[in-house]
Homo-oligomer: A and B are copies of this chain.
Amino acid sequence: MNENSNSSNTRPLLLVDDDATFVRVLDRALTSRGFEVISATNLADARMLARRQQPRYCVLDLKLGEENGLRLIPELHSLVPDMRVLLLTGYASIATAVEAIKRGAHDYLAKPVDADAVVRALLDGDGGSESDDDDLPDAPEAPLALRRLEWEHIQRVLTECNGNISETARRLGMHRRTLQRKLSKHPVRERPGDGD
């Protein structure tokens, strides 16, 4: 409703990630695929850009330094009701995926991810008729690897504890130091033995 600098009718894509390198790479990749990319590395900038530029799409990192990308999702939607938000994270878990979708994200992908997958997720179900009737993802044929299961469980309890690491470690019956170390590592891929 207010002014925006959209000269053309194309609305930009807002890229929010605290990793400058990642932003640069993905920016280039998305720009070359026809998007007008604007980017931010923290919540405040992201909010401002969203308000001013009314982006159509948003690629949002879950972990923005100290801040939490999840909080931004509802705000973005109130600023730009029709924005499609794609969550992206190197520390993916089912618990945070559930949270993200509940808060209105359109999809959730785990890093590392290639730009084509990002574009696909962004555009999925966009251009008109939804086809979510026979588009169901199938369950993996293999159960979760042990590491993965552990990761998911940790994430869930951690969420339950509002991110309190000490409390989570206590409930999980593990050493706080061990939890810290585990959290600092990246999650395991979904498929055991599947290289990235």
List A residues at the B interface (Cβ < 8 Å): 62-63, 68, 70-71, 89-99, 101-103, 107-110, 120, 132, 134, 136-150, 152-154, 156-157, 160-162, 170-174, 188, 190, 192-193
Q: Given A94-B110, A143-B171, A192-B171 in contact, is the A153-B149 Cβ separation under 8 Å? A: yes
Tell me if A99 and B137 are in contact (CB < 8 A): yes
A107–B81 Cα distance when bound, in Å, is: 24
A98–B91 CB distance below 8 A: no
Q: Write the nearest CB–CB distance from A18 to chain B, whole angstroms.
A: 12
How close is A171's CB to chain B, nearest CB, in angstroms? 5
Residues B93 and A140 in contact, CB atoms below 8 Å apart: yes
Find chain B residues with CB under 8 A from A153 CB: 110, 143-146, 149
Q: Is the CB of A145 within 8 A of B174?
A: yes
**5 examples of A-B residue contacts, CB within 8 angstroms:** A93-B139, A101-B101, A134-B162, A142-B173, A144-B153
